[in-house]
């Protein structure tokens, strides 16, 4: 019986040691798991915030998407609209020196077409050009300004001589501006009709 008691006592010690070990390790393991869960929760919050930000940006882009016209704009109508934008901003419409209407091109994979035109305006001062472009984008939402190239110009010989002696550069430019418009139909509308 003594051997059974010793064996039972030994088993109890082992069992007690295991229980103490479990009792000590359980809070440590739980604490470690809680820390990992907290880190995972923080990462999830960051991902959610990033996802919300991207969704907000997509919604904003959707609201800013390009307007689509029914058909291309005929050149005489476009020139008249450009002259009007120049006139309304106090710029002589004769500053529009070139209009190069390009052929309408299909946009791959869609029923849409892109119409582009390159215009040259000049000589024109930078603030006048800015006012004119602001007016154009407000009055003509179907047209998007795709590029602007500014070349500094000197209006006449007297200005050229004074510019060479002056350190301040001129703010008079010749502006080459690419405008683009998206439309559905491929045939131009009849003259006199507005798009």
pLDDT number for residue 9: 74
Q: Can you give the pLDDT at residue 191?
A: 40
- Looking at residue 25, its pLDDT comes to 75
Q: What is the pLDDT along the chain (195 residues), one digit of tens a residue?
A: 556 656 677 778 888 877 778 778 777 777 777 788 888 888 877 767 766 666 665 555 544 455 666 666 677 888 999 999 999 999 999 999 999 998 888 888 888 888 899 999 999 998 999 999 999 988 988 888 999 999 998 755 345 545 454 434 568 899 999 999 888 865 444 343 344
For 109, phi then psi, to 5°, come to 80, 10
CATH superfamily of 68-183: Ribosomal protein S6/Translation elongation factor EF1B (3.30.70.60)
Q: What's residue 38's pLDDT?
A: 80
Quick one: tokens of 103? 């052929």
Per-residue pLDDT, 119:
95
The reported pLDDT for the residue numbered 56 is 60
State residue 154's pLDDT score.
73
What gap in Å lies between CA 87 and CA 132, rounded to an integer? 9
Looking at the DSSP assignment, which residues form a beta bridge with residue 175? 121, 150
Per-residue tokens: 72: 């291309």
* Calpha distance 68→114 (Å, rounded): 10
Q: Is 101 helix (H, G, I), strand (E, B) or coil?
A: strand
**Per-position DSSP letters for 118-162, written without gaps between them:** EEEEEEEEHHHHHHHHHHHHHH-TTEEEEEEEEEE---SHHHHHH
How far apart CA 65 and CA 142 sit, in angstroms, is 11
Q: What predicted TM-score, i.e. pTM, was given to this entire model?
A: 0.55
Contact by Cβ (8 Å): 126, 154 = no
Residues 145/178, Cβ–Cβ less than 8 Å: yes
């Amino acid at each position: 019986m003594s051997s059974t008691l010793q064996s039972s006592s030994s088993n109890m010690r082992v069992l007690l040691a295991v229980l103490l070990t479990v009792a000590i390790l359980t809070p440590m393991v739980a604490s470690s798991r809680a820390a990992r869960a907290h880190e995972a929760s923080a990462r999830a919050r960051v991902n959610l915030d990033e996802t919300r930000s991207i969704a907000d940006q997509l919604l904003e882009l959707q609201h800013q998407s390009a307007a689509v016209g029914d058909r291309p704009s005929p050149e005489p109508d476009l020139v008249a609209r450009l002259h009007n934008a120049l006139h309304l901003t106090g710029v002589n419409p004769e500053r529009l020196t070139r209009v190069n209407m390009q052929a309408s091109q299909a946009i791959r994979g869609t029923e849409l077409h892109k119409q582009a035109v390159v215009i040259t305006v000049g000589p024109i001062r930078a603030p006048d050009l800015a006012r004119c472009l602001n007016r154009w984008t407000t009055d003509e939402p179907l047209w998007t300004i795709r590029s602007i190239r500014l070349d500094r110009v000197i209006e006449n010989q007297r200005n050229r001589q004074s510019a060479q002696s002056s350190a301040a550069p001129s703010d008079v430019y010749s502006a080459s501006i690419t405008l683009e418009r998206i439309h559905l139909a491929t045939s131009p509308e009849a003259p006199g009709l507005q798009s």
